[in-house]
Structure formats: C-alpha cells, structure tokens
C-alpha cells in the first residue's frame, strides 16, 4: 500500500475514533430523567402542568429537575417584570433567579405573609431579596397571605398548591401550572396591585378589576380570589353540576357547604372518591368523618409528610384548583386564588395524579 494511502487510512481511523468518543460523551452526559412529573398530556399550547414526585426519605440534594427548576426557568424567561405573591420562600434557585432578573433590569416585586416575614427562622430568603433592593410588602397578620403565584412580563402566570420551599418540593404532594395568557395575567396583576400598592389584604380587599370568566386556548376558565370573590359558592355551583364523577384531593376540607354538596351529588348517583391529608382528618371539623360515615369512598393519604393538593375533578373534564383550601379560613380571611378550568386533557392529567395519590392512600 502506498505511503499516502497508509496515512489517509490512519487519519480515517483516528477521525472515526474521535467521532465515536464525542458521541459516547454526549450520550453519557445527558441529564437523567426529571424527578417532577409532567407528561405530554400535561402540556398544551397555553399551559404546562407539573406535579411533585416526593420521595421517602426525601432527596433534596440530588434532583436533576423539579418544580423549583421549572419555576426558575419561568422567572429566567422574564424580560420586563416579575411579580411574586408567595406564602413562603426558601429555594436557592428561585431566589437567585429573582436576583438575576433584577440584575438584567427587570422590575421585581414581592408580596408575602407578614408573620412569615417577621419570623427569623423563615424569612432569610425574603430578607436576601429585600437587601438586594427588591421591594417586599408583607401583610395579613391576623390570617395568612396564602397565595403562591408569579406573573412574568404581564403575559404568563404560575399558580397552584405549591409553596416555594424545599419541604413542599421534595416531601409533599403538590401541583403547579404555567399558563400563557395576558388576560389571566391581568387578573393576577390587578389582585397583586391591591396587595402591593394598596396594601389591602384579606377582608380589607374589595372585589373588582378582574375578569372572572375567560376563554384561553379554546377552554373556558374561571378565575377567583379570596376572600373578595366568595370562592366557596363558586366551587359549590360547579360541584352541583356533576353528573358522573367527583374526585378530590384535600389538604384541608372543613367547609360544611362544600361537604354538603358532595354528599348531595353522591345521593344523586355521582361516584365520589376523595383523599384527605391525614393530619387533621380525624377532627370534628373535618368533612372526612361525615363523608366516610355516609359510605363514600374517601381515604386518608399515604404520604408520611403531607398531601398538599387542593383539587376537585368533575366528570373527568373540569378541574378546580389553586391555593384555596376548602375551609372557612380560606373563604373569609386568607389571601387565596383559584381556577376552574374546563379542559379534558388537563382533567386527565390531574386524574392521573389523583390515581397515584388514591392508590397510596389508606382505606
């Protein structure tokens, strides 16, 4: 073989080895499967819904992805503004994303709970934001500012049951959703301004400035804020329309009016299944005993930490969810938000989460 051919052959072998090595490196350095659960059914042109994947024992130091990473990405997408209403905050990635947003000249504002803000054991992340020049308004000292929402560029909203904490991310069952809608963002911004600008919290805040009924991506959406919108009545009205099924997951379910309509629909032939958070379910205030004694299929959750969802799924097509616990405190005193969404794929996604929680729960 001529010497030139030998050189070309050698170079070809070396090049092939280099290419093979690059492919191997690329394959072996791909991130592992995310610990949060978001399926194709949980995504649409206008939303992406996420659920925590709690582990026992929790693995806080080794999640390649989770709700905190999803929220961090959402905040990183901001170009002009980030408004945050959060009950609690201790996630380093979320804190850094807010600091980074401010550094790139986005307007960052925060509303939080006054008692949390005054608690030295819980306020370190909030104080870090404040020290950087991010304005923080804390309110509702007699109840709780219980919202957990973020508005980015007045075009999109993050909301759900999930507090922005390590505990709620890696121990508790929770949901979070990003919704791309300027109309919905206007509702949340109007309520945010009442708290941040007017310093009106709880029962001091008046209704108005929002559009309760919207159409987003072809789906009917109702959006309410507590206490000003009398949210329990809106939930009751929707549950009363149930024709086939009601599934629910409830961190706190003590509202007699909501409990009564669930019993009413069960007597009317609607199949009811529910999971209660274990803590508090054995108290006289809880609806668990009433529904159980009536023969309904209700269980107490099997998570050794907390089942923190606040969700109703009606007839497999409507989802009721948000920060709003099914309690008089949420109805009359706390700062809360809620969505009622008629969207079959979204309902199917929540039903999958319900099935997981239900199957782990105790009869």
Catalytic residues: 308, 310, 315
And the tokens for 131? 């020290």
- Structural contact between residues 147 and 336, judged by C-beta atoms closer than 8 angstroms: yes
- Looking at residue 341, what DSSP letter applies? E
Residue 322 Ramachandran class (φ > 0 left, ψ -120 to 50 alpha, else beta): left
- Looking at residue 60, what DSSP letter applies? T
d(CA 229, CA 58): 37
Residue 210 main-chain phi, psi, to 5 deg: -120, 160
Cα–Cα distances (Å) from 354 to 99, 247, 312, 316, in that order, read 36, 8, 10, 11
| DSSP-assigned states of every residue in 53-69 | ---SS--TT--SS-HHH
CB atoms within 10 A of CB 346: 24
- Structural contact between residues 176 and 163, judged by C-beta atoms closer than 8 angstroms: no
């Amino acid at each position: 073989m001529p010497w030139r051919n030998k050189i070309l052959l050698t170079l070809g072998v070396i090049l092939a080895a280099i290419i093979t090595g690059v492919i191997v490196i690329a394959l072996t350095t791909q991130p592992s499967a995310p610990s949060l659960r978001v399926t194709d059914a949980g995504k649409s042109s206008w939303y992406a819904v996420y659920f925590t994947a709690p582990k026992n024992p929790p693995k806080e130091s080794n999640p390649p992805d989770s709700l905190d990473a999803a929220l961090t990405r959402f905040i990183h997408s901001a170009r002009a503004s980030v408004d945050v209403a959060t009950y609690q905050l201790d996630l380093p990635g979320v804190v850094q994303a807010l600091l980074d947003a401010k550094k790139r000249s986005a307007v960052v504002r925060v509303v939080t709970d006054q008692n949390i803000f005054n608690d030295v054991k819980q306020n370190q992340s909030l104080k870090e934001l404040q020290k950087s020049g991010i304005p923080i308004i804390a309110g509702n000292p007699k109840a709780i500012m219980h919202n957990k929402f973020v508005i980015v560029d007045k075009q999109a909203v993050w909301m759900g049951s999930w507090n922005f904490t390590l505990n709620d991310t890696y121990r508790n069952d929770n949901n979070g959703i990003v919704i791309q809608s300027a109309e919905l963002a206007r509702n949340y911004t109007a309520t945010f301004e009442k708290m941040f600008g007017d310093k009106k919290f709880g029962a001091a805040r008046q209704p108005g400035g929002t559009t309760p009924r919207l159409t987003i991506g072809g789906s009917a959406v109702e959006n309410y804020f507590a206490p000003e919108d009398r949210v329990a009545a809106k939930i009751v009205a929707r549950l009363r329309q149930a024709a086939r099924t009601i599934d629910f997951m409830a961190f706190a379910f003590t509202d007699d009016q909501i409990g009564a309509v669930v019993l009413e629909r069960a007597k009317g032939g609607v199949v009811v299944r529910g999971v209660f958070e274990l803590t508090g379910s054995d108290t006289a205030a809880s609806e668990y005993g009433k529904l159980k004694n009536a023969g309904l299929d209700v269980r107490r959750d099997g998570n050794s930490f907390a089942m923190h969802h606040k969700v109703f799924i009606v007839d497999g097509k409507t989802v009721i969810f948000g920060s709003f616990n099914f309690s008089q405190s949420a109805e009359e005193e706390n700062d809360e938000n809620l969505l009622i969404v008629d969207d079959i794929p979204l309902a199917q996604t929540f039903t999958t989460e319900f099935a997981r929680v239900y199957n782990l729960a105790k009869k």
